[in-house]
Amino acid sequence: MRVLGVDPGLTRCGVGVVEGVAGRPLTMRGVGVVRTPTDAELGQRLVAIEQGIEQWLDEHRPECVAVERVFSQHNVRTVMGTAQASAVAMLCASRRGIPVALHTPSEVKAAVTGSGRADKAQVGAMVTRLLRLAAPPKPADAADALALAICHIWRAPAKNRLQQAVQQQAALHASKHASKGRTP
């Protein structure tokens, strides 16, 4: 599975591509940051993020895009920019028919480090180790994007199995109710 991780941000939007399957060594295929000038108009910044994400999608052809779920922060202005960048990434993927998965920051930290309260340095160190890199990706937004991709690769099989079990249970339940309404 090839996953594009996106750590959304209006000034720096981290992007990273990881390939592999759960239980096997993973490979980094690319990492970087889509930057926008802070003095540019909001619409221009969102277009720049879209163009950057589209380039990554064209170049790496991911099977899935994992985006950090936006959570409420004290600074509403920051959370709005993050939400807008997140929406652009989801739109770019969805327009191409690429599935989008959202992961909370604590879910990503727990998957990569074992603790949902890990700091940026711990996440960067584990990403470096897991992907066998010479040094942590800089800035932290890039390392976070790789962590999102790793989290998704590791958690997607379990989520898919759970989803299938729920669907099977619903189908079984529906067939039982359907058979009760019929006359023999």
141 is catalytic: yes
Whose tokens are 């802070």? That residue is 38
Query: Are residues 6 and 89 in contact, defined by beta-carbon separation less than 8 angstroms?
Result: yes
Residue 138, classed as helix, strand or coil, is coil
68 is catalytic: yes
* Residue 68 marked in a binding site: yes
Report H helices in the chain. 42-60, 76-95, 105-113, 120-130, 140-180
* Residue 39 marked in a binding site: no
54 is catalytic: no
Spatial CA neighbour of 131 closest among 103, 115, 151: 151
What span, in angstroms and rounded, lies between the C-alpha atoms of 17 and 26? 10
19 strand-pairing partners: 2, 27
With vertex at residue 140, the alpha carbon angle to CA 132 and CA 102, rounded to the nearest 5 degrees, is 90
* Residue 7 marked in a binding site: yes
Spatial CA neighbour of 28 closest among 39, 41, 38, 19: 19
Spatial CA neighbour of 123 closest among 113, 132, 131, 133: 113
Out of 19, 58, 59, 68, which one is annotated catalytic?
Answer: 68
For the annotated binding site for Mg(2+), the residues are: 7, 68, 141
For the annotated catalytic residues, the residue numbers are: 7, 68, 141
